[in-house]
Amino acid sequence: MLTEAVSNFAMKCLDQTGYFGAGLLMALESMIAPIPSEAVMPFVGFLVADGSWNLWLAIGVTSLGSITGSLISYYLGYYGGKPLVLRVGRYLLLNPHDLVLTEKFFHRRGGLVTVFISRFVPVVRHLISIPAGIGRMPLIPFLLVTLVGATMWNTFLLLCGMKLREHWPVVQTYSHEIDIVVLVILLAGLAWFLKSRFSTPQPCDSPGDEG
């Protein structure tokens, strides 16, 4: 069963790296590395549901990871501007086009509410801390809204994972159909990843870019 193999592999990786591994993955997720929280937190929920991990400790560690990654991105933007972000992002498979779209989203709406809402938006939540840093958003309010938004999102995915684990016998009953869905999702995700990371032209920095 493909679904079971994927879940067992993810849980084994998390179990071997422990809370530190989960926190590190969420730190990378909040930076410019293409690691989706949807591929991490549900399996953290699996381990909590199995009794291997503590619920509150799992939430605390992953939230701390999200804050750490967001803070690093914030300071990259604050001190280095887009040129430094692009140089560092080259090693983390940053798609410059995604950064441009996130900057436009931030500048069009601006403010703390935008940073909060961005924690629930795919792609944007990976990058929103960068324009916040470039725009010199006050640090403490930035950290507070990031902490609240990231904790809410992480906890939601964790609880979804717990519920899925509780109903695992039902999932196994429909294993063949679910395997097809999982395979399609994995292939679509791979195709999107390759296209977005390697097919988008590198934009030139405009004269107005900071750094």
Residues 82, 72: Cα–Cα separation, whole Å: 14
DSSP state of 1: -
Q: Of 19-23, 53-57, 191-195, which gets the smallest average pLDDT? A: 191-195
Give pLDDT, residue 206. 44
**What are the angstrom distances between the C-alpha of 6 and each of 21, 49, 98, 162, 188?**
18, 17, 28, 16, 16
Tens digits of per-residue pLDDT, 135-175? 788 899 999 999 999 999 999 999 988 988 876 665 555 55
Per-residue pLDDT tens digits for 26-50: 998 888 776 788 878 888 998 999 8
Which pLDDT value is given to residue 194?
60
CA atoms of 15 and 10, how far apart (whole Å): 8
> What does the block give as tokens for 147?
């902490």
Amino acid 135: pLDDT: 78
pLDDT at 197 > cutoff 60? no
Between residues 56 and 104, the one the model is more confident about: 56
pLDDT averaged over the chain? 76
